[in-house]
Amino acid sequence: MTVLEQQDQDVYRLVKAEEAYQQATIRLIASENYTSKAVLEACGTVFQNKYSEGYPGARFYQGQINCDQLETLAIERAKKLFGAEHANVQPYSGSPANLAVYLAFAKPGDTVLGLNLSHGGHLTHGSKASATGKWFNAVHYNLNPETGLLDYDEILRLAKEHRPKILIAGHSAYPRQLDFARFRAIADEVGAILLVDMAHFAGLVAGGVHPNPVPYADVVTTTTHKTLRGPRGAIILCKEVHAKAIDKAVFPGLQGGPHNATTAGIAVALAEALRPSFATYAKAVVENARVLANELVKRGFTLISGGTDNHLMLVDLTNRGVTGKVAAVNLEKAGIVLNYNTVPGETRKASDPSGIRLGTPSVTSRGFGPAEMLKIASWMDEVIVPEPRGERLAAIAAEVEALCRPFTIPGLA
């Protein structure tokens, strides 16, 4: 019996139930992944017990002998992995990381330019629902309605018209690679800070299958738990010239003490990402996405931009006669977990939009390959119809569980 089992059966039971659920279902949420057992272990240590306001060598509490070494280790690994001049590993997650960049370089009311949320941007890229859209004058660029691709000429036009303080590149739902040289040129043309939010594709950058924004951007933010496969947290990378401004914005500007136990997990994940096996993983993520996308297209699904060259797909379900929400709910009943999503030019509300988003980081981590991608596409084809039969959804859930059985999720193996 574990200590948790002895002392809190309620929580223990939920942990076990979640383990079983994650093992028995197919996870296609593009922003999720499974951490290794080493990462999980590193997050559950006595580093939970320490406050460390400040930075290594300059803390506001005593007793940092090990915390300083730990944070320095994570910083050095992050710099090495991405070739960055400076790294801050303290942001609690992606949204605070992005907010810290606003705090470092803009004042309330200043203009920022980023990708529209409904075209694949993120809330913190200036959505009206977010502090970044309430406190700053956010202007948005859209995808080209014909191609579903970023239109760099249009971004340049908007940048010249609005003269943003910060130009934001990056996305939560764009299935293609970004042209960072183009973004750099646009930022230079209007004297903007270039922020690249690589939260979604950081693991692909680490694995060498996506261009690295670090040489081009003033600042790069990333979460650590998506393709990068670490614990929930974030990192800000920047040029040395911006290091002070970024560090001051994170602490004391926005946060208190860093979550040291999470820093330990991030350090472990970064070491894993530095190994050659991670490049193999990243390559497989992209290959699985390509196979799944091609099969979905073959089966008549409408993929925004026609496919993918990263880890994710955005699918407009209008031609299937099913909304994104209905599809996501029925897929969940069939053991396939993904999220409903707005699509470019969305005409429905965000709580029941026209599309779904899916990605391959998690399934690739558990060892799925092209054969499993074809199977997933065939199940999606069966489930995403106006009125799927309840018993068939239950039967597919059983088939999904059987397929998953030999592929133990990392962390449980």
**Contact positions vs ligand DSN (CB under 6 A):** 31, 94, 122, 172
Catalytic residue (choose from 32, 197, 218, 247): 197
For 296, the token pair is 């979905």
53 in active site: yes
The number of residues making up the chain comes to 413
Cβ closest to ligand DSN, residue 172 vs residue 310: 172
Decide if 265 contacts 39 (C-beta within 8 A). Answer: yes
Q: How far is the CB of 221 from ligand DSN (least distance, A)?
A: 11
Q: Which residue has the tokens 């409408």?
A: 302
Q: How far is the CB of 327 from ligand DSN (least distance, A)?
A: 17
Cβ closest to ligand DSN, residue 94 vs residue 410: 94
Cβ closest to ligand DSN, residue 30 vs residue 250: 30
Catalytic residue (choose from 27, 77, 165, 226): 226
232 in active site: yes
Q: Give the separation between CA 192 and CA 183, rounded to whole angstroms.
A: 10
Cβ closest to ligand DSN, residue 27 vs residue 86: 27
Q: Give the separation between CA 64 and CA 255, rounded to whole angstroms.
A: 18
Q: How far is the CB of 223 from ligand DSN (least distance, A)?
A: 7
Q: Which residue has the tokens 């940048």?
A: 159
User: Nearest residue by C-beta to ligand DSN?
Assistant: 31
- Residue ranges of alpha helices (H) inside 176-323 are 180-190, 202-206, 243-248, 260-273, 276-298
Catalytic residue (choose from 232, 239, 375, 392): 232
Q: How far is the CB of 195 from ligand DSN (least distance, A)?
A: 15
Catalytic residue (choose from 41, 53, 179, 332): 53
Cβ closest to ligand DSN, residue 52 vs residue 365: 365
Instruction: Please name the residues in contact with 208: beta carbons below 8 A apart, sequence gap of 6 or more.
Output: 279, 282
CB atoms within 10 A of CB 26: 25
Q: Give the separation between CA 66 and CA 258, rounded to whole angstroms.
A: 14
**Buried-state track 282-306, b at ≥16 Cβ within 10 A, e below 16:** bebbbbbbbbbbbbbbeeebbbbbe
Cβ closest to ligand DSN, residue 260 vs residue 341: 341
34 in active site: no
Q: How far is the CB of 172 from ligand DSN (least distance, A)?
A: 4
5 in active site: no
Long-range contacts of 68-75 (CB under 8 A, 24+ apart): 70/260, 70/263, 70/264, 70/267, 71/258, 71/260, 71/263, 73/267, 74/263, 74/264, 74/266, 74/267, 74/270
**Buried-state track 84-108, b at ≥16 Cβ within 10 A, e below 16:** bebbbbbbbbbbbbbbbbbbbbbee
- The amino acid sitting at 371 is A
223 in active site: yes
Cβ closest to ligand DSN, residue 70 vs residue 219: 219
Catalytic residue (choose from 221, 223, 262, 302): 223
Decide if 98 contacts 221 (C-beta within 8 A). Answer: yes
Tell me the sheet residues that pair with 61: none
Catalytic residue (choose from 12, 51, 92, 152): 51
Active site residues: 51, 53, 197, 223, 226, 232
